[in-house]
A and B are shown apart, each in its own frame.
Chain A
Amino acid sequence: MFLRLLFLGFSLGTFYALVSLGFSLVFGVTRIFNLAYGELILIGAYVAYWFVRNGLPFVAAFPVSIALLLVAGWIMTHLGFRIRQPYVLNSLLGTLGLAIILQNLYGSLFGGDYHLLNLPSLSGRIDLGLFFVSPGKFAVMVTSLTLIIVTHVFMTYTDTGLRIRATVQNREAALLSGVDVRRMSFLANFLGAALVGMAGPLFVTVHYLYPLAGIEITLLAILITILVGVGRTGAVIIGGIVLGIMESLTAYYLGGEWQEFLIALALILMLIIRPTGLLHGHGEE
């Protein structure tokens, strides 16, 4: 059972990592604390739900979702450059407003109902010997891991990735070194938007969808970003998996009522003991 729970936590954690990756990346570069992040993920989720409900193939939702998010990312980047001081407070208020607008838009277009995609092609079970896993969860896990690894490789081994990371670490120093930080902001936003566009359709296959579901995603992304340290895209996977495993083990051995308490406790301890993040000092700096 313990191994099964570890696998469940791992699987949940990879999904958590995917939905948090875009937030971590964009926040690291632009310092925009995007409170509408979860609502942006819901764009792809609602697109996928609408596609399937109208007889269109689920996979076709991915390019549409990514395209919509790239447009949204482009608009947000432009608006982001116009934010005046106090920058952090203004970006918080601006994205909070956007979140409320999107929540109401979803409510108007799709109603307040809860929805879940139960695709025949992703249901059923894969026998892994010790336990089962659904093709849907397996697909989400593999897609999440692939996207996280690709993003990590891009950020670690390409010139552009290194420039983005330099901007994350010290915007002023990067600027003095000749890095076009404005361009890096655009690129980070575009990369983040593409990741969000991928995460959206996957979200509705593993979690129910409703207009306020974005709030939970945003909180999750903030939690993981704080846990691993700002801008540490590669470490997001560790944060996601730690959180996923904590949730699974707590729910089984202690009970569901302890989940939030223990996660909050871990976060507080983290902020006291390692305020710069769980993996501070282990590469990626």
Chain B
Amino acid sequence: MLSKITSFLLVLLLTIVPVARPASAQEIVIGEVASLSGRFAKPGGSIHEGVETAVHQINLAGGVGGHPVRLVTRDDGGDPQKAIEAAESLCLKEKVIALTGGYVDSLVGPVAEVAEKYKVPYVAAASLQSKLTQLNRKYFFRISNLEGYVNPMTQLIGSIGAESVAVVHSTTPGATELAALLTKHAGSGGISIIAVETFKPGTSDFTPMLLKTTREGPDILISLGFFQDNLLMVKQMKENGISPGLFIGAFGLEYQALIDDLGADTDYLVGTTAWEEGINVAGTEKMATAYLSAFRDKFGREPEPLTMHGYSSAMVIIDALDRLIGSGATPGREALSGFIRQTDLPLPMERIKFDDSGEPLYYTRYIFQIKNGRRMVIFPPEAATSRVEFPAPPWDKR
């Protein structure tokens, strides 16, 4: 009986006691807070794959200054409280040298607070809310900003001769501020703003809101909702015969899944993207090829456009680490933050350089229109592969 109990306890011990990971003394640990489940799992997953690709690529090349890089990812589930817990766990338990990841400001904001508290540099992969950089945090950086959306969108609207715009937006902080900026810029450009409506994430019937915002027949309907909101909105617009001259979705229309699910109904939709294969910052073509090769090697398929955001944010940290180690200094959070601040890195998506508040000096979205199931760049003119079709034909004429 005793031997049975002893055996049982031994098995139990072997089962529950975690086997110590053989830690390499030279290993550099980067932390990522990602939305891998919950409402933002789709964009969160795309960004995470980009971060993983950067780490995979750098480790294949022998690491940073000879040090292998280990990525530790924590899922925030789309919940700010979980994001805080994840960031604290990464900073205190995993003792990461830097943080990255993030998609919406309701999650990026809390992680930035934690990063500042523990003096860990945080390069957010996607963030818009201006408040986050106005706080002049020492350890917060991001690679996207509001102007990157507002400028190309208002320039496109002005260039096609549209006279009126209606805006519908999600109640998330970034989307709300983007709506305010867009209407301000469009209004000052002489474009009439005929409606601005908000909706809660998870809305199941957009029809009343769409009927209200389009009753005066705006030339353009701008949606600042996410992928899933646009999916439902487009379907409900068709069902109700709602045909604005142009439907522009700032977020989430770049996903191939939209075309897969809605088919030809996605034709004439206009979306924005930070990167597409073949559209690179001049001189970064080889880097883009290396990125695609590393992604395909790791995942065996093509990346989503948003994946480049995750890749770029991780590459900023890796580049700064490389310079830090090359300088002979001991890798540490404080020193790394200083090196990130000095970043001037051309990447396929954008040249990355920060101002004193951590805001990127360069960030712009390309604008595409879906034609025959393919995304064709229509703005800026120097990158355009097709001309914008405006106004789009009404649903019953397609």
Instruction: Determine, out of A67-75, A225-233, A249-257, the stretch whose residues face the partner at the interface.
Output: A249-257
Look across to chain A and name the residue whose beta carbon is closest to the beta carbon of B262. Answer: A118
Within residues 179 to 236 of chain B, which ones have a CB less than 8 A from any CB in chain A?
197-200, 202-205, 207-209, 211-212, 215, 227-228, 231-232, 235
- In the complex, B240 has a CB within 8 A of chain A: yes
Complex CA–CA separation, A251 to B206 (angstroms): 8
- CB neighbours (8 Å) of B45 from chain A are 111-112
**B265 interface contact, C-beta 8 A:** yes
Answer whether A112 and B239 are a contact pair too, CB < 8 Å, given A248-B205, A252-B211, A257-B200: no
- Report yes or no: B197 in contact with A134, Cβ–Cβ below 8 A: no
A99–B300 CA distance with the chains assembled, in angstroms: 32
Contact with A along B75-112 (1 / 0, CB 8 A): 00000000000000000000000000000000000000
Closest to A8 in B: B207
Stretch at the interface among B16-24, B31-39, B157-165: B31-39
**CB of A153 within 8 A of chain B?**
no
- The answer to whether A4 touches B38 (Cβ under 8 A) is no
Q: Is the CB of A207 within 8 A of B232?
A: yes
- Tell me which of B39, B42, B212 contacts A252 (CB under 8 A): B212
* Given known contacts A112-B42, A113-B42, A259 and B265 CB-to-CB distance under 8 angstroms: no
Residues of the B chain whose Cβ atoms lie less than 8 Å from the Cβ of A211? 37, 41
The answer to whether the Cβ of B241 comes within 8 Å of any Cβ in the partner chain is: yes
Q: Do the beta carbons of B38 and A212 come within 8 Å of each other?
A: yes
For the complex, is B263 an interface residue (Cβ under 8 Å from A)? yes
Highest count of chain A CB atoms <10 Å: which of B36, B239, B263: B239
Chain A, range 97-115, C-beta contacts under 8 Å to B: 103, 107, 111-115
Taking the closest CB of chain A, its distance from the CB of B274, in whole angstroms, is 20
Q: Which residue of A lies closest to B168 (CB)?
A: A256
Interface size on B, residues (CB 8 A): 39
Report the minimal beta-carbon distance from A155 to chain B, rounded to whole angstroms. 28
What residues of chain A lie closer than 8 Å to B227, measured between beta carbons?
Answer: 114
Interface assignment of A136: CB less than 8 Å from any CB of chain B: yes
A18 to chain B, nearest CB (A): 14
A134 partner residues in chain B, CB cutoff 8 A: 238-240
A156 CB to nearest B CB, Å: 30
Say whether, besides A112-B36, A252-B212, A216 and B198 are in contact (CB < 8 Å): no
Q: Are B205 and A132 in contact (CB under 8 A)?
A: no
Q: How far is the CB of A41 from the nearest CB of chain B, in Å?
A: 14
Interface residue B261 (Cβ < 8 Å from any Cβ of A): yes
For chain A, the count of residues having a C-beta within 8 Å of the partner chain is: 40
B209 touches A256 (CB 8 A): yes
Closest-by-CB residue of B relative to A244 is: B205
Does A210 have its Cβ within 8 Å of any Cβ on chain B? Answer: yes
Q: In the complex, A211 Cα to B209 Cα: how many Å?
A: 26
CB-defined contacts of A176 to chain B, threshold 8 Å: none
Tell me, rounded to whole Å, the shortest Cβ–Cβ distance linking B239 to chain A.
Answer: 4
| Distance, CA A127 to CA B203, complexed state (A) | 25
A137's contact among B239, B241, B396, by CB below 8 Å, is which? B239
Contacts of A117 in B (CB 8 A): 261
Question: Judging by beta carbons under 8 Å apart, are B239 and A136 in contact?
Answer: yes
Q: Is the pair B261, A116 in contact by a Cβ cutoff of 8 Å?
A: yes
Assembled-state Cα–Cα distance A118/B258 (Å): 11
Residues on B with beta carbons closer than 8 Å to the beta carbon of A87: none
Contacts of B208 in A (CB 8 A): 5, 8, 247-249, 251-252
Chain B CB within 8 A of A1 CB: yes
A134 to B241 Cα, complex, angstroms: 10
Name the distance in Å between B263's Cβ and chain A's nearest Cβ.
Answer: 6
Residues of B within 8 A of A123 (CB): 235, 238-239, 265
Task: Report if A285 contacts B (CB, 8 A).
Answer: no
Q: How far is the CB of B42 from chain A (nearest CB, A)?
A: 5
With A115-B257, A116-B261, A256-B199 known, 10 other A-B pairs at CB within 8 A are A1-B211, A115-B261, A116-B235, A118-B262, A125-B395, A132-B240, A134-B238, A210-B42, A211-B37, A257-B198
> Can you give 23 contacting A-B residue pairs, CB < 8 Å?
A1-B215, A12-B204, A12-B205, A107-B37, A112-B41, A112-B42, A116-B232, A118-B261, A118-B263, A123-B238, A125-B395, A132-B241, A134-B238, A134-B240, A208-B228, A212-B37, A248-B205, A248-B208, A251-B205, A256-B203, A256-B209, A259-B200, A259-B203
Complex A-B, nearest 10 residue pairs according to Cβ-Cβ distance, in ascending order = A112-B41, A134-B239, A251-B208, A256-B199, A252-B208, A114-B228, A208-B228, A248-B208, A257-B198, A118-B262
List residues of chain B with CB under 8 Å of any chain A CB: 36-39, 41-42, 44-45, 171, 197-200, 202-205, 207-209, 211-212, 215, 227-228, 231-232, 235, 238-241, 257, 261-263, 265, 395-396
